[in-house]
Structure 1
Amino acid sequence: MDRRHRFALQAEIWVADHLAAQGGLVLARRWRCRGGEIDLVVRLGGVLCFVEVKARGGNSWDSAGWEAVGAVKQRRLLLAAALFLAAHPELARSVCRFDVALVGRDPGGGVRLVAYIAGAFEGSGR
């Protein structure tokens, strides 16, 4: 596993722990299906959040983080979320949201949250 991939995995773990510390219940990590992968599925309060974690080593984020999850990625996440809900019918009536966590390296080489964008895009794609 290369350094970049290790950092991406570290970022996903960090975000999951961060959301759990805020009272979130992590239901799935790296959930895979034919439509793609969902990094995290977390229940935050009464909302089921499908969280895409984007990790970059530098400070190369655009101002809103929109470029990190473009239209093609959004469509893949929408399909994966639909398949997740089909596989978990007990969650099918949940209020759902698509969030994006932008993560970077802190000066010591660890993980830092650059931004957490709740409701980063709508269920219809962008």
Structure 2
Amino acid sequence: MSPISKQESGRAAEALARSHLERNGLRLLAQNWLCRGGELDLVMLDGDTVAFIEVRYRKHAAWGGALESIDARKRQRLVHAAQLFLQQESRWARHACRFDVIALSPGASPASPELNWIKNAFEA
């Protein structure tokens, strides 16, 4: 994965994450869902559970890895966006929910980043 711009690398990371999750049986509900004050990278259905998935990619760990980049402020924005999603998409409001993180970092080769899927990465 060696896209040029930050936006392109973000899209490529989300595509890899989505493909990985779909191979593991999850079904896409929304991608890049925007609201005032936030964005949900992927919203997927895992059985009866709505999974809000934050995708993070870091080329270098100099400023912390992908996981470390999700601070308390970012978690708060994700929770707020998820609440708005559930209000707008009320058919999913009665389902159990969780927050997952897909952390991508450089792997053995640029074309194959290391993917780390953390289910229930944090509580709302």
TM range (shorter): 0.7 to 0.9
Offset from partner CA, 1:48-89 (integer Å, 9 cap, x none): 100000101135555x92x22110001100110000001111
C-alpha distance in structure 2 between counterparts of 1:34 and 1:81, whole Å: 12
* AA matched with 1:42: M
TM-score, scaled relative to structure 2: 0.87
Deviation at 1:114, TM superposition (A): 3.5
| Identity in percent | 36
C-alpha distance in structure 2 between counterparts of 1:119 and 1:68, whole Å: 16
Count of residue correspondences: 121
Partner of 2:103: 102
Q: List gaps (5 residues or longer) in structure 1.
A: none
C-alpha distance in structure 2 between counterparts of 1:116 and 1:93, whole Å: 25
Find runs of 4+ consecutive structure 1 residues off by over 6 angstroms: none
C-alpha distance in structure 2 between counterparts of 1:111 and 1:27, whole Å: 26
TM-score, scaled relative to structure 1: 0.86
C-alpha distance in structure 2 between counterparts of 1:77 and 1:55, whole Å: 17
Give 3-state SS (helix, strand or coil) of 1:106's partner: strand
Q: List gaps (5 residues or longer) in structure 2.
A: none
What is the CA RMSD across the aligned residues, in angstroms? 2.0
Deviation at 1:15, TM superposition (A): 0.3
